Amino acid sequence: MRRKITTGLLFLIPVLVLVLMHTTGIQNKPVDGGNYEYYEWESLEGIASVPVTVMPAYTEFPGISELLAELETGIKTAKDEVLQILAKEENALGYYSNLILANRSEKEGKDASEYYRTALELYYTEEIHFKLAEHLLKNGKLSEAEKEYLLLLPNEKALDVLMAMKTAPEKICEAYASQKEWEALRKFLTMVFENNPAENDNITLMKYYAQALFEQGDYKSALPFYKKLYGLDNSDQSIAWLYARCMEAVGQTSAAVKLYSVMGEKGAYRLGLILQKQGKALEAADAFAGSNEAVSLWHAARIWDNAGMIEKALETYTRIASIASMYQDDAAYRAYILSKRLGNDDVDKFLDVLSFHPAWMDRIGEKPVMPELTELNYHVPEYLKQAEIYEAEGFLDAAAIEVAIGSKTTTLEEKLALGDWYLKRGQYYNAILWGIRSLSEQPTRRGYELAYPQLFEKYVIKEAEKYKLDPALIWAVIREESHFRYDAVSKAGAIGLMQIMPATGKDIASRMGLSITDNDLFKPEINIMLGAFYINSMMNMFNGDIDKALAAYNGGPGNVKKWLESGLMTSEEDFPTAISFSETQEYVTKVRNAYFIYKWLYK
């Protein structure tokens, strides 16, 4: 059984039992329900030099119900020495035992911090974190308490305590910034400046305040702060860039261009974007090329490509293809196409990148390279079995904690078992994640089945047959749109499995003679019905071209038509590069990759 009692005892128990049987005639009796027997020894020469925990002749270990009962009532359920053993376990019993020992220590006026810390390492909750911080404060460990309260920000209760402790505002700002809690940081500093006007000249606080405004997109309010900071130190390129970005955002374009121009590589990308908007394409390309960022180089390459400066574009695409980034595969594809057009067959370096992407291999007429799958036998790990017992007994929180602790470190087999565990419970997103994690170690069939499931099969097959679509395409779209989360909502407001915008959903429904509400989009049957209708519409609009249909599904059909009129379009193989939205460009390839995997996996 995983992680039982202590490694020393595990090693000794079988040996000790044999000694008992042959020397004293005492037989070890098995005990059900998590009870174990211990015997006291004076010496065992030649067997092992491992320290043995000395316990009474018979010790009964409490179960989860007893531990939870003590946490709720405070009535003791086991001796301290028994809980000390359980507290070393990396499971739910160990977690609750540490909490009980912390409670007992608190009542007895002893240091409970290590029990709280161990519990938090096993399973984090803000409630226990607060108990640790409060305990440290109560016992006069002020620096340790301050550290914990800083980690508890942006919780307002933690801020109140820190203010009462007179914690330096710089520390609080650093804590907010490290967690990207920009609104909370802005509110805090507004309060500081109002209560203590002298702090207005604090350069460190000014930087934090300006950053909070900038990160929230309030460039106009941030501008005077960055102007002052730049005036104090114009050698700080980070401040210079932020100052220029604020000027650019509020329309002070000429001043921004001037500042970006003297910043070298740091300002190259933003300078290029401004020049491009001004219609100065070739100047913009030169500016973009002054950066080593893949996104900036991509812009430069596309401008030269569009202008017919093929060799210069190819050189830059080749450079991008050697940089690990979201543009690497797109650049390798374009470099491959341009190399072939120029009669250059030295394309192996591009194939090395493209071979990992079935969609790109198909586009260049090469057979996709798919992994050889292995069948792997695996067993359900003990912590999942124990979690099922807790579930059956109604201890759902204990079950969740057992799984959370057990899954912190996992073997390949455990990853697959965890995927099955979540799939069985309808938690498809988690099942897919564990499948993906397993594939990072070894390509197994079960790993791929978890990562690329055929869920909601009845609805998918029904709609695929209605529109004569390949069901693999619908599954691929669902996987990349929502990872099969029927309740998914994007930042833009797209809803459900196929991420349909409410307005689009209602429009499609009306064309089908239906009336729906926004909440109907959370229903798998309706969401798949509307999504399949839209895919079919885009396939019809673009003559069955999957790339164009997917680009329209994500970026809109109007944009696809615009991209088709781009100067880059000399043949159909140019379309992926002509897509100017990076999100749509990445989306099309992700869905196409998933589509090929579905067809290969379930052929």
Known catalytic residues are 481
- Contact assessment for residue 137 and residue 145, using Cβ atoms and an 8 Å cutoff: yes
Asked if omega into 154 is within 30° of 0 (cis), the reply is yes
Q: CA 405, CA 88: separation in Å to the nearest integer?
A: 13
Closest residue by Cα to residue 546 from 469, 482, 452, 491:
469
**Token pair listed for 123:** 């399973």
Q: CA 231, CA 210: separation in Å to the nearest integer?
A: 14
Cα dihedral 594, 596, 599, 600 sign: negative
- CA–centroid distance for 28 within its chain: 49
**Token pair listed for 536:** 């079919």
- Contact assessment for residue 359 and residue 353, using Cβ atoms and an 8 Å cutoff: no
**Token pair listed for 210:** 């300006």
Annotate 196-224 with three-state secondary structure. Answer: CHHHHHCHHHHHHHHHHHHHCCCHHHHHH
- Contact assessment for residue 455 and residue 471, using Cβ atoms and an 8 Å cutoff: no
Give residues with Cβ within 8 angstroms of 555, minimum separation 6: 579, 581, 583, 584, 587
DSSP annotation string for 55-104: --SEEPPP-HHHHHHHHHH----S-HHHHHHHTTSSSHHHHHHHHHHHHH
Residues present in the chain in total: 603
